[in-house]
Amino acid sequence: MNKFQLTVLIAALANLALMLLFPPFNGQSLLRAGPASFDAFYPGFDAPANATLNSGLLYLEIFSVLVNAVLAWLLLQSAPQEPSRPRVRWQSVLQWLVIANLLLILVFPPFETQPDRAFEGFRFALSGSVQRGIFLPFLFLELFLLALDAAALWLAFGFVARWDEANGAESPAEPESFAAASVAPGPETRQIGRSDRDRRQGGNRHFDGPERRRGIERRKRP
């Protein structure tokens, strides 16, 4: 498991914890008689006394989180040559998942019955009628959570990528071999950082380069 997969695991656990902390509840409408329908998301420890847990919607939320986590986990598997880097770029994985979830939300939006405005379920977008319309508050909530998850994962993946690059750039260079470092400079060894002209004008007796000086620049060799 690389760091990108670990980030996906942490994000999935955070989403599951949020869903279990604020699960969906059903409530009985005062305008109509019949079975209870979706009311709102209440804290699990402070739900109204007459509210009942909407287990079907909760299971659907958990299933969607697990599917996205599994897909991201598989796409972010490490390459054989580089265990710390996934096979597919994390930017592409995140973009594909966001586009797929956005299309799924828009193709199967939440619907409500009219005129009592009771949540009916997720239907095909073109199946609306006079007695059935899109439940806009639920749709906006889905889009908001999708944008929030995408932004959080983008920042987390970017931080992981920069962390790996920094660790790779700060790796120590290979030390020079002891044999190469222990070689004593001989007469033919040139001094580092000095040109041929400087060595000709200095007192280096071991310089055997060509003599190109003229006139006053010439120096008698001892």
C-alpha 12 chain-centroid distance: 13
Q: Are 54 and 38 in contact (CB under 8 A)?
A: yes
DSSP conformational letter for 127: G
85-108: per-residue pLDDT in tens?
Answer: 888 899 999 999 999 999 999 999
Q: Is residue 200 part of a domain?
A: no
Sign of CA dihedral 210, 212, 215, 219: negative
Range of the domain at 77: 3-169
Average pLDDT estimate for 36-51: 85
For residue 13, being part of any structural domain is answered with: yes
Q: How far is CA 188 from the centre of its chain?
A: 57
User: How many Å apart are CA 215 and CA 222, to the nearest integer?
Assistant: 18
**Is 176 part of any domain?**
no
| Tokens standing for residue 37 | 């329908």
Q: Under a CB-based contact definition with an 8 Å cutoff, are residues 121 and 35 in contact?
A: no
Q: Is 215 a domain residue?
A: no
- Residue 222 included in any domain: no
Number of independent structural domains in the chain: 1
Q: Are 26 and 51 in contact (CB under 8 A)?
A: yes
Q: Is the Cβ–Cβ distance between 51 and 45 less than 8 Å?
A: no
Winning range, highest mean pLDDT, from 32-46, 174-188, 202-216: 32-46
Containing 119, the helix (H) or strand (E) segment is strand 118-122
Q: Which residue has the higher pLDDT, 33 or 147?
A: 147
Does residue 187 fall inside a structural domain? Answer: no
Examine residue 207 and state whether it is found in any structural domain, yes or no.
no
**25, 43 contact by CB (below 8 A):** no
Domain-located, residue 46? yes
pLDDT class for 173, splitting at 50, 70, 90? very low
**To the nearest whole number, what is the mean pLDDT of the chain?**
79
